[in-house]
Chains A and B, each alone.
Chain A
Amino acid sequence: MTPAALDLSPLRRAAAWHPAEFAFWLLPPAAYFLFPDYLALLSQIAITALFVLSLDLILGYAGIVSLGQAAFFGLGAYAAGMLGKYGWGDPLLGLAAAAGVAGLIGFVTSFLVLRGADLTRLMVTLGVSMMLFEAANKMTDITGGVDGLQGIEMKPIFGAFSFDLYGKTAYWYTVIVLFLLFLLARRLVNSPFGLSLRGIKQNVLRMPAIGAPVHGRLVTIYTLAAAYAGIAGALLTQTTQFASVDVLAFNRSAEILLILVLGGSGSLYGALIGTVFFMVAHHFLSDINPQYWQFWLGATLVLIVLFARDGIMGLGRAAVARLGRKAP
C-alpha cells in the first residue's frame, strides 16, 4: 500500500470540530463576565487544567502512568521564578524557558521511566520527582525552600497588561495559553502520531510489527508532556508571583492523577471538565465546611466510581448513548 492510498478520512472526521466544542470554548469568556469575583479561582482552574492535560497526553493517550508530573511543573515554576527574580520578568520569555527546561529534563528522565510495568513506572516517576523535591529543599539558598523564592517581579505581558489584584490579566493570560496548547494537543492526538500512541497503549507488542518505533514515540510524547507541565508551572509562578518547594510536592502529582481519572483519561475534554468539576467542588465544599470538606469530597469520588466508570466523560458518553437509543 502506498502512502497515497492511505485512507485518513476517519482521522479527519475525528479532527473536525463538533458544535459542542465550540459551545464549550464559549464558556471561559462567558465566565469572565458572569463570575467577575472568582477570577483568581478561575485562573487557577485554567492552570490546573493545563497541568492535567499534560498528564492526559502520557496517561490517556500513551498509557504511561505517572506520579511525578509535579517534577516538571516545579521545574517550570522555578524557571519562570528565577527569570523574574533576576530581572528577566517577561512572561512569554518565562513560558518559553519553562517549556525548555522541563522538556529537557523530561527527555533525559524518559529513559529511566519508560521501563517496566505500571507500578514500576509509577514509582520511578515518583522517585524522580521526590529526589528533585529534596534537592530543591536542600538548596534553600537558591530556591528559597519552603518559605518561597523571594523577589519575583513580573513585567507586563507585551509590555502592556500588568497582573492586577482582581486577576483580570491573569485570567485572560492563562485561558489563552490553555486554549492554544489545547489546540496543539488536539491536533496531535488526531494525527497519525496520536493514533500510533493509542496503538501502543492498546497493544505494545504488536506496534513494532507494523513499523511503529515504540520507544521513540513514547520519548517524544513524554518530553512534550513535560514541557506542558512546565508551562503550567510557569503560569502559576507568574500569576501569583510566588514559588516555593511546594510546587514540586507529591500531592500535586497525586491530585492531577485524581482529577484526570475523575474527568476520564484518554479524552482531552475529560481533563478539562474533570478539573473544573474537582476545583469547583473543592472550593465550595471547603467554603461551607473548612474543617471537614475532605469527607464530602471523598464521598463524591466514591459515588462517582460506583456509578460512573471512566469518569465524568464516561458518564456523559453513556448518557448520550442512551438518548441515542431512545430517539432513533
Chain B
Amino acid sequence: MTIVFDGVAAGMLLFLISIGLSVTLGLMNFVNLAHGAFAMLGGYVCVLLLGQAGWPFLLAVPTAAAAAALAGVVLERTLYRRLYAASHLDQVLFSIGIVFMSISAAHYFFGARQQPIMLPDFLLGQFVLPGIDVGIYRLFLIVIGLGLAYGLHWMVRRTRFGAQLRAAVDNPRAARGLGIDVDRVFTLAFALGSGLAGLGGALGVEMLGLDPGFPVKYMVYFLIVVAVGGSGNIHGSLIASLMLGLFDVCGKYYLPQVGAFIIYAVMVVMLIFKPQGLFGRSAAK
C-alpha cells in the first residue's frame, strides 16, 4: 500500500511541475521549452525567501509562483508575443535560447551547487496507519495537486476567461471580432502557465533538488506528461502523471533491474496505442 501511495505522490509531483507546460503548449499552442526556466526561477525565489529572508514556507511558495508569473508577463510582452505566429521549430529555437541564458544566469548568481531547502517541521516525517506509511510532504503535494487540477479544470471549462482563452487560441481573428481582447487573454494565460511552472519548481525543490541545470534535467519529464496526457487537457495531464508515477515507482520497487526503462517504455506503449495522447483532441499541429 505504501508503494501505491508513493506512486501517487510521485505522479502528483510530475503533474505539478508539468501542468504549466500543459497551459502554454497545450492551450496556447506555444512550444515553450523554457518552461523549466520558469520553474527554476520559482525554485530559487522560494529558496532565497526561506533561507535568506526567513519567510515561512507557506508564504514563500505562492510568492515564488507570483515571481515566475511576473517574469512570464514581462517576457511575454517583450519577446514571446512576437512568436505566436512563428512555426513550432522557431519557437523551439527561441525557447532553448532562453533556457541557455537562464542556466548561465543562475550559474552566475547562485553558483553551480545544489541549493538547500528546509521544510517547516509540520511537513516533515510520516505517520503510520495500519498497512500504510504516509509521508506528510507527499500528502501535502497530493492535496495541492488535486486542488490545482480541479481549479484549473473549472477555470478553463466554466469561467468567462476560460472560454475567451479557448476562443482566442482556436481562432484569434474571430475572437477579436467578437470583442475579446486577445492580447490580454494571451498575456494572462502565459502568466498563468509560468506561474504554475514557478509553483511546481518551488514545491519540487525538496524532492528534485535545485541547481542551474534544472531546466534541462527535467525537460524530458515535462514533455512526457504533456504528450501522454494529450495536449491542452488538464484532466489528461493529471491521469497521465498519476499513471506514469505509479508505473515508475511500482516498477522500481518490484523490478529494480529494469530501472529507468519503465517510464520510457510506458510512454512509448501508450503513445503507440493512443497516438493523440490519452485524452487528446486533434493533433497539436
Contact = CB atoms under 8 A, between A and B. Distances in A.
B103 to A, nearest CB: 6
A134 B83 CA distance: 36
The 7 closest A-B pairs by CB, nearest first: A298-B100, A116-B275, A301-B97, A117-B283, A295-B104, A298-B101, A302-B97
Nearest to A264: B89
A41 interface: no
Given A120-B277, A123-B227, A295-B101, A131 B93 contact: no
Interface in A1-49: none
Contacts of A116: 271, 275-276, 283
B163 interface: no
Given A298-B101, A298-B104, 5 more contacts: A131-B265, A294-B100, A299-B101, A305-B90, A306-B79
B268 A298 contact: no
Contact of A124 (B89, B93, B268): B268
Interface in B104-135: 104-105, 107-108
Nearest to B260: A134
A134 B267 contact: no
25 contacts: A116-B276, A117-B284, A118-B88, A119-B277, A120-B271, A120-B276, A122-B223, A127-B265, A127-B268, A130-B264, A131-B268, A134-B260, A138-B259, A250-B220, A292-B107, A294-B103, A295-B101, A297-B97, A298-B99, A298-B101, A299-B101, A302-B94, A305-B86, A309-B90, A310-B90
A124 B227 CA distance: 10
B158 interface: no
Interface string A133-144: 011001000000
Contacts of B220: 126, 130, 250
B226 interface: yes
Interface in A264-297: 265, 291-295, 297
A257 B97 contact: no
Contacts of B79: 302, 306
Interface string A152-194: 0000000000000000000000000000000000000000000
A261 interface: yes
Among B103, B272, B277, residue most surrounded by chain A Cβ atoms (within 10 Å) = B272
Nearest to A137: B260
B94 A124 contact: no
Contact of A258 (B96, B105, B271): B96
B160 interface: no
B105 A295 contact: yes
B94 A115 contact: no
Give the interface SS of chain B, mostly helix, strand, loop or mixed.
helix
Contacts, number: 133
Contacts of A120: 227, 271, 275-277
Nearest to B93: A261
A203 B68 CA distance: 40
A300 interface: yes
Contacts of B271: 115-116, 120, 123-124, 127
Given A123-B227, A134-B260, A304 B103 contact: no
Nearest to B282: A117
A311 B83 CA distance: 14
B180 interface: no
A262 interface: yes
Given A118-B88, A118-B284, A120-B276, A302 B98 contact: yes
Given A117-B275, A123-B267, A306-B79, A134 B259 contact: yes
B96 A134 contact: no
Highest count of chain B CB atoms <10 Å: which of A112, A115, A117, A305: A305
A128 interface: yes
B264 A292 contact: no
A143 to B, nearest CB: 16
Nearest to B102: A298
Nearest to A126: B220
A122 B261 contact: no
Nearest to A259: B93
B231 interface: yes
B224 interface: yes
Interface in B56-111: 79, 82-83, 86-90, 92-94, 96-105, 107-108
A35 to B, nearest CB: 26
Nearest to B266: A127
B146 to A, nearest CB: 26
A324 B90 CA distance: 26
Nearest to B261: A134
A131 B224 CA distance: 14
B93 A301 contact: yes
Contacts of A254: 96
A296 to B, nearest CB: 8
Contact of A298 (B87, B97, B231, B267): B97
B248 to A, nearest CB: 13
Given A258-B96, A297-B100, A301-B93, A131 B227 contact: no
Nearest to A298: B100
A298 to B, nearest CB: 3
B223 A131 contact: no
B90 A123 contact: no
B100 A295 contact: yes
Contact of B285 (A118, A251, A306, A310): A118
